[in-house]
Copies of this chain bind each other. A is one copy, B any other.
Amino acid sequence: MTGSSSAAFSDTLINALKSILGPGGLLTQDTDTAPYLTDWRGMFHGKAFAVARPASTEACAKTVKLCAWHKIPVVPQGGNTSMVGGATPDDSGRALVIVMSRMNRVRDIDRIDNTMSIDAGVTLKAAQDAALDAGLMLPLSISSEGSADIGGILATNAGGNNTVRYGNARELALGLEAVLPDGRILNLMRRLRKDNTGYALRQLFIGSEGTLAIITGAILQLQPKPKSIETALCAVADARAALELFAAFRNAEPSAIQAFEFMSGLSMQLVNTLIPDAPLPLAEPSPAYVLVELASPRGGDTLRGLMEEVLGKALEDGLVSDAVLAESEAQRQAFWKLREEHSEAQKRAGTSVKNDVSVPLSAIPEFIDRATTACKKLIAGIRVAPFGHIGDGNIHFNLVQPEGADGAAFLACDHEIMDAVTAIVRDLGGSFSAEHGVGQLKTYMMPAWRGGAELDVMRHIKTAIDPEGIMNPGKMLPEVG
């Protein structure tokens, strides 16, 4: 016997869930569930009959098992900072949202292996802090690190500022623990750098956006804490100059580059004007900026020398028109604030359309030129505000509504704008989702971009692991039809 959909809302079911999840483990009142039913950008609104907050992997497993029995859709949610509606349920009200915030233990840190075993519900910031407390570093940094949790960053294979040196979330995870759609626990919590024993299930589940399993724990590879860090903000003419500066640093010492971020003049201006205490630390505004950070586990002033050597040459060559080096940790934080507040500033400037795209490094200048022209042609007064991880070929090509225009009307054009931008990305061999994922915002793009054999294989895998389709339905893979 299998439960019907009406059974999903029976008192019996609610009581069974309450019994599994314990006091405070199940939220059913609208006021309690509301924060979990709208995404951070306010673009997607869903319904759920309840929100589950398991306090252990076992409780999570039992919850999913019950949902599987009743064929109740399960929507895993991390810090609810998805940019693509990846963690918001549909509006049927049949779903159970599962959040990991009560699973917030750092299980163990090993100082010989430099590994951290951790619950999925720990926020990225808390995990970074725990690593620092142990004299180590968790080298993943994203703007939402205060809310995003470990499960979320792994489910979406988050990237961020340090990918250029340490890779994405994928590269940092040695081990994984997950609950399968049938409620079984998949224990891949191995802390081995080499392990070729069967299919790379860990790799498959990382980046699967909650459509195959719920990640409940992980073992992360930590790095030695840098003993010296040098950070500089540079004024450059355009993306071409930024790329040349990147090449100059890479030629001098590639393994020292910890971050290499690009910011357009308009995007920086929005931060300077709309975010408190975020002034531009340069004499005058520039068409574009680079934030470069070098780091080394060795002490001494070698790194300062390297930074001054490369920037000195770049100033001489006219590649950089002005530059300022952080002289204290406070100043470094101030530089980083200018970068981290880009999304928030754009939010305050009105509605915006986001294109989280990547192209091969060499194609970045052409991409920015062509996409800027295309967007300006589409909507008069559109504010083109790209920024991002140029060292990885990853640009957040964001468009802010024209000043004083109707935000909703602008947003109604989002697919038109996205399609214009991504057509150019595609022409240049890029990706329509570099690091934010597909979620529900971009599922419609999958057939055109990843169709044919690729999408077929993805669907076969989805059906093989989640035959009833209960895991985060409607995300990533478009409906067949």
Known: A115-B360, A204-B461. 16 other contacts (CB 8 A): A113-B362, A191-B360, A192-B393, A195-B434, A196-B433, A196-B435, A196-B437, A197-B433, A197-B438, A223-B254, A224-B250, A224-B251, A253-B296, A255-B297, A463-B464, A464-B464
Who on chain B is nearest to A112 by CB? B362
Q: Is the CB of A198 within 8 A of B450?
A: yes
A423 within 8 A of B: no
Q: Mark A155-177, 1 if CB is under 8 A from B, else 0.
A: 01101000100011011000000
**Residues B193 and A393 in contact, CB atoms below 8 Å apart:** yes
Q: Are B190 and A200 in contact (CB under 8 A)?
A: no
Instruction: State whether the Cβ of A282 lies closer than 8 Å to any Cβ in chain B.
Output: no
Q: How many whole Å from A133's CB to the nearest CB in chain B?
A: 18
Give the top 8 A-B pairs by smallest Cβ distance, nearest first: A203-B203, A464-B464, A112-B362, A460-B464, A194-B434, A195-B431, A255-B255, A193-B392
Q: Beta-carbon contacts of A296-310 to B below 8 Å, as 1s and 0s?
A: 111000000000000
**15 A-B contacts, Cβ less than 8 Å apart?**
A110-B362, A112-B361, A159-B196, A184-B453, A186-B457, A196-B431, A196-B433, A198-B455, A198-B476, A198-B477, A199-B461, A200-B208, A201-B458, A223-B254, A253-B296
Bound Cα distance A417, B196 (Å): 20
Are A194's CB and B255's CB within 8 A? no
Which chain B residues border A458 with CB–CB below 8 Å?
198-199, 201
A275 CB to closest chain B CB (Å) equals 26
Interface pair B163/A194, CB less than 8 Å apart: yes
Does residue A231 face the partner (Cβ distance < 8 Å to B)?
A: no
Contact indicator B429/A190 (Cβ below 8 Å): yes
Check if A267 is an interface residue, CB within 8 A of chain B: no
Alpha-carbon gap, A456 to B159, bound state (A): 31
In the assembled complex, A188 has its CB within 8 A of some CB on chain B: yes
Residues of B with C-beta under 8 A to A159? 194, 196
Closest CB of chain B to A404's CB: distance in Å?
A: 35
Chain B residues in 8 Å Cβ range of A163: 193-194
Inter-chain contacts of A208 with B (CB < 8 A): 199-200
Residues from chain B with a CB closer than 8 A to the CB of A207 are 196, 199-200
CB distance from A474 to the nearest CB of B (A): 14
Q: Is A413 an interface residue (CB 8 A)?
A: no
Which chain B residues border A251 with CB–CB below 8 Å? 224, 297
A interface residues (Cβ-Cβ under 8 A, vs B): 110, 112-113, 115, 156-157, 159, 163, 167-168, 170-171, 180, 184-188, 190-201, 203-204, 206-208, 212, 223-224, 243, 247, 250-255, 296-298, 358-362, 389, 392-394, 429-438, 446, 449-450, 452-455, 457-458, 460-465, 476-477
CB A289 to nearest CB in B, in angstroms, measures 21
User: Could you say how many copies of this chain the assembly holds?
Assistant: 2
A431 proximity list for chain B (CB < 8 A): 190, 192, 194-197
B360 near A113: Cβ-Cβ < 8 Å: yes
A330 to chain B, nearest CB (A): 27
Residues on the B chain within 8 Å of A430, using CB:
192
**Contact partners of A195 in chain B: CB under 8 A:** 358, 431, 433-434
Complex CA gap A455/B201 in Å reads: 10
CB pair A204 B199 closer than 8 Å: yes
A48 to chain B, nearest CB (A): 25
Name the contact of A297 in the complex, choosing from B192, B254, B392, B465 (C-beta under 8 A). Answer: B254
Bound Cα distance from A361 to B192, whole angstroms: 8
Nearest opposing residue in chain B for A111, CB measure: B362
Contacts of A465 in B (CB 8 A): 457, 460-461
A392, closest chain B residue (CB): B193
- When chains A and B are docked, how far (Å) is the Cα of A457 from the Cα of B179? 12
In the bound complex, CA of A430 to CA of B190 (Å): 7
B156, B255, B457: which contacts A180 (Cβ < 8 A)? B457
Q: Contacts of A115 on B, CB cut-off 8 Å?
A: 360
A198 to chain B: which residues have CB within 8 Å?
A: 438, 446, 450, 454-455, 458, 476-477
